[in-house]
Amino acid sequence: MAQAGHALVRSLLPAALFLDEGEPVRGPPSDTGRDFGWDGFSFEGFMLVASHRPHQESRILIQSSRHDLTYACTHRHSPMRQAMLSLRHIEIFHAIMRTGSITAAAESLNVTQPSVSTVLKHFESRLHMPLFDRVNGRLRPTPEAQALLPDVAEIFNRLEAVERLSRDLAGGLRGSLSLAATSPLANGLLASAVASFSTLRPHARIALQSLGSPVVLERVINREADLGVAYEPIISPEVETEVLAAGSIACVLPKSHPLAKKRSISLADLRTYPVITYLPQALLRPYVDKAMSDAAVALNVTIEVGLSVTAIMLAFNGAGIALVEPDLLDAMRLPDMVSRPLVPRVSFKTLLIRNRSAPRARIVDDFVDHLRAQLTKTPASSL
Q: Which CATH superfamily is domain 172-246+349-382 in?
A: Periplasmic binding protein-like II (3.40.190.10)
Report strand pairing: 321-324 vs 250-254: antiparallel
Pairing of strands 227-231, 337-343: unpaired
CATH top-level class of 85-163: mainly alpha
What is the DSSP track for 182-195? -HHHHHTHHHHHHH
For residue 209, the cross-strand partners are 180
Residue 227 has pLDDT above 90, yes or no: yes
> Domain residues of the chain, as ranges?
2-80, 85-163, 172-246+349-382, 250-345
Q: E strands of the chain, at which residues?
A: 46-52, 57-64, 69-76, 132-135, 138-141, 176-181, 205-210, 227-231, 239-248, 250-254, 265-266, 274-278, 300-305, 321-324, 337-343, 347-355
Phi, then psi, of 376 in degrees rounded to 5: -70, -20
Q: What pLDDT was estimated at residue 6? A: 53
**Residues 322-346 pLDDT 10s:** 999 888 887 788 889 999 999 989 8
- Confidence (pLDDT) at 85: 74
Q: What are phi and psi of 117, to 5 degrees?
A: -60, -40
Tens of pLDDT, residues 156-189: 888 887 777 676 556 555 578 899 999 889 988 8
Q: Mean pLDDT score of the chain, rounded to an integer?
A: 80
pLDDT at 321: 96
**Residue pLDDT, tens place only, 357-382:** 988 888 899 999 999 998 887 644 44
Closest listed residue to residue 342, CA positions, set 247, 232, 233: 247
pLDDT at residue 224 tops 70: yes
> How many residues are there in the chain?
383
Q: How confident is the model at residue 80 (pLDDT cuts 50, 70, 90)?
A: very low
Say whether pLDDT at 267 is over 90. Answer: yes
Q: What is the 3-state secondary structure (H, E, C) of 246-295?
A: EEECEEEEECCCHHHHCCCEECHHHCCCEEEEECCCCCCHHHHHHHHHHH
Would you say 62 and 54 are in contact if contact means Cβ atoms under 8 Å apart? no
pLDDT score at 72: 54
Distance CA 320, CA 299 (A): 12
Distance CA 167, CA 295 (A): 54
State the average pLDDT over residues 138-153.
Answer: 90
Apex 194 CA angle, 188 and 200, nearest 5: 145
Closest to 17 (Cα-Cα) out of 126, 97, 108: 126
* Domains 85-163 and 172-246+349-382 alike in fold: no
Pairing of strands 57-64, 265-266: unpaired
pLDDT band at 254 (very low <50, low <70, confident <90, very high): very high
Give the mean pLDDT of 61-78: 53
Q: At what angle do helices 143-170 and 362-377 cross, to 10 degrees?
A: 70
Question: Residue 169 in contact with residue 161, Cβ under 8 Å?
Answer: no
Architecture of domain 250-345: 3-Layer(aba) Sandwich (3.40)
